[in-house]
Chain A
Amino acid sequence: MNEQEVYQALNEIFREVFDDPTMEVTPDLSADDVAEWDSFNHINIIVASEQRFGVKFHTAEIESLRNAGEFVALITRKRLAA
């Protein structure tokens, strides 16, 4: 799975979580850009991604993420290590 495919998969997850079929995930997308991106939906995204990408995240990793780009980097790193 290359980076573009990770973004594709994240698009699906984000569209589902925020119920917004037009949503596009870009590297600098962050919680400040989406009104309903609260701590609950943050975890929603994380757990959906765990299942989708077959990885597991620690609480501390989740907390330090600042934007979607960092999340994609983390997913890629985890998939390589797995």
Chain B
Amino acid sequence: MLFNSPEFLLGFLPVVLVGFFLIGALGRPSLAAGWLILASLFFYGWWRIDFMPLLLASILFNFSVGRTLARWPTHWLLAFGIAGNLAALGWFKYAGFLAQAVNDLAGAGLPVPQVVLPLAISFYTFQQIAYLVDAQAGETRETSLARYALFVVFFPQLIAGPIVHHKEMLSQFEKPETYRPRLDNLVLGLTAFSIGLFKKVFIADPLGSQTPLAFGPALDGVAPGFADAWFGSIAFALQLYFDFSGYSDMAIGLGLMFGIRLPVNFASPYKSASIIEFWTRWHMTLTRFLTAYLYTPLVMAAMRRRQRLGLPMLKRSMPAVAPFFWLLAVPTLITMGLAGIWHGAGWQFLVFGLLHGVLLVANHAWRYAGRRIGLDWDLGWAGHAAGVVVTFLAVTVTFVFFKAVSLEQAMSVVQGMVGLGEAGPATPRLGGVDPATLGPIEQLLSRLASLPGVLVLTGLAIVWLLPNTPYYISTLAEPVQSRIETTATGIRGWVTALRRSSLLRAQPSVLQGAAVGILLSLALLRALSVAPSEFLYFTF
């Protein structure tokens, strides 16, 4: 069931929510949890009932391994548990791709298995691997199969995250207060959900219809013109953000309605002034996972090894190439390459990840070397703004690989971006002018002046100037995480006064209530009048 479908909005959600609180109000937390598990399984089975056995088997397998690890925390049992998860993921997600790759590269005649990717497998596999690692380290402990099942299948985050730690969910599921209705949670949850639904149906989906400008001709190997390549690619970068952050807002909002705080997944990523900063704000729960379970162990092992051998470490006062390469570049490239492949089985995803790895390494090298060679000018707000724009454009180029169905398609779009396009302008006339008579920059400007162009510019204004949803809904509940707050106002220093006046934060006032009500009504009307489109991350 999609969050933006009528059956979810008008049927599933109200019934599950009312049932949850009725049972909770009777003082039966375990029954309420059971209700949530059943509802979540129904939610999952609505798509394809035949994916259900794998999900249930995965839960049982990991719960058993986790329980054994609690009593017997050996490394080989942990390795067995992780291998089991990776084997399932490998078969369902990568077997076809690997067989094809071996056939292409080595000319072997392996049969290519046609396996359908089970919904959510990448997400629930990662979440449970993290659980096993934490169980082995004694960081978390689970004794109840029902509670463990709820940790995996809790429907707001089952399909596409946020990827949660067992520890942070357990502490909430254990509390009886979670199962009692709270008005502030319901209000804030509905607010986040409304914003997310609005982002999805009014911004992400319409932007999606602009991406064929760049990706359409490229599908047949024809490079689009400069203006079309950039316009379509920027539209996609914005679509992906509004789609996935919209989904995350909805997930976090739904979680709150059920009294559960899910971790923040997006904190205004396009306000980042560097690629290092970007990854602290984009798909934050994936970054957290990769940092904790892949990057940190890799870097620590490399550092300890160099320490043991008495080799030089990476020093800011005296950076050297060898430690930079082994301690920073290699672990970063491995982590980001695997992050790319996690998204999908295809060369274009590997290139997507490696491009980000290269950008991160370059960013670090700049930090180390810039100061040595006197390149660390402080240009104030202008430098910051330039950093934001350059970061956004670099990310836009990498997302071409993310969107493309093949490496060839991505390369055709990139070819168009560097001005080597072969296709003529996609629209014969723009605002009464024949675009073929215009230069590439003029073409891009006239595209931006068209109606879809206004949508793109509005999207850019939102991501650069407005606070993010986690910031907006954070007032009533808890002190704000400083990372969310510091860039919430956008380009540094933007109307700090306005922010202080708390106009831009959720308040239990008539005005704000009405505003959110209008947002939700519009989003609902739209969601119910068009066929619901899938979220982009549901294919991972």
Contact = CB atoms under 8 A, between A and B. Distances in A.
B296 A43 contact: yes
A44 B314 contact: yes
Interface stretch (A4-12, A34-42, A68-76): A34-42
Given A39-B291, A39-B295, A59 B307 contact: no
Contact of B300 (A19, A36, A46): A46
B312 interface: no
Contacts of B482: 32
B486 interface: yes
Nearest to B318: A19
Interface residues of A: mostly helix, strand, loop or mixed?
helix
Interface in B103-161: 133-134, 137, 139
Interface residues of A, number: 22
A47 to B, nearest CB: 4
B304 to A, nearest CB: 6
Contact of A59 (B296, B313, B367): B296
Given A19-B316, A60-B134, A40 B328 contact: yes
Contacts of B317: 16, 19
B270 to A, nearest CB: 19
A71 to B, nearest CB: 15
B479 to A, nearest CB: 13
B296 A17 contact: no
Contacts of B293: 59
B303 A47 contact: yes
Q: Which of B139, B316, B482 has its CB near the most chain A CB atoms (within 10 A)?
A: B316
A75 to B, nearest CB: 16
Interface residues of B, number: 30
Contact of A63 (B280, B296, B486): B296
Contacts of B315: 16, 19
B297 interface: yes
B292 A63 contact: yes
Contact of B364 (A40, A50, A64): A40
Contacts of A44: 303, 313-314
A42 B191 CA distance: 36
Interface in B243-292: 276, 280, 291-292
B483 interface: yes
Interface in A53-69: 58-60, 62-64
B334 interface: no
B299 interface: yes
Nearest to B368: A19
Contact of A60 (B139, B295, B300, B314): B139
B486 A32 contact: yes
A60 B137 contact: yes
Contacts of A32: 482-483, 486
Contacts of A48: 313
A60 B327 CA distance: 20
Q: Which of B296, B371, B482 has its CB near the most chain A CB atoms (within 10 A)?
A: B296
B137 A59 contact: yes
A22 interface: no
B109 to A, nearest CB: 43
A50 B301 CA distance: 13
A29 to B, nearest CB: 13
B304 A47 contact: yes
Nearest to A21: B317
A47 B307 contact: yes
A39 B300 contact: no
B311 to A, nearest CB: 13
A32 B482 CA distance: 7
Nearest to B138: A60
Contacts of B486: 32
Contacts of A58: 137
Nearest to A57: B300
A51 interface: yes
B314 A62 contact: no
Nearest to B134: A60
A16 B364 CA distance: 17
A45 B304 CA distance: 12
A34 B303 CA distance: 22
Interface of A: 16-19, 32, 36, 38-40, 43-44, 46-48, 50-51, 58-60, 62-64
Interface of B: 133-134, 137, 139, 276, 280, 291-293, 295-297, 299-300, 303-304, 307, 313-317, 327-328, 364, 367, 371, 482-483, 486
25 contacts: A16-B315, A17-B316, A18-B316, A19-B315, A32-B483, A32-B486, A36-B367, A40-B327, A40-B364, A43-B299, A44-B303, A44-B314, A46-B300, A47-B300, A47-B303, A47-B304, A48-B313, A58-B137, A59-B137, A59-B293, A59-B296, A60-B133, A60-B134, A60-B139, A63-B296
User: Closest 9 CB pairs between A and B?
Assistant: A19-B316, A47-B303, A32-B482, A60-B139, A60-B137, A43-B299, A63-B292, A19-B317, A39-B291
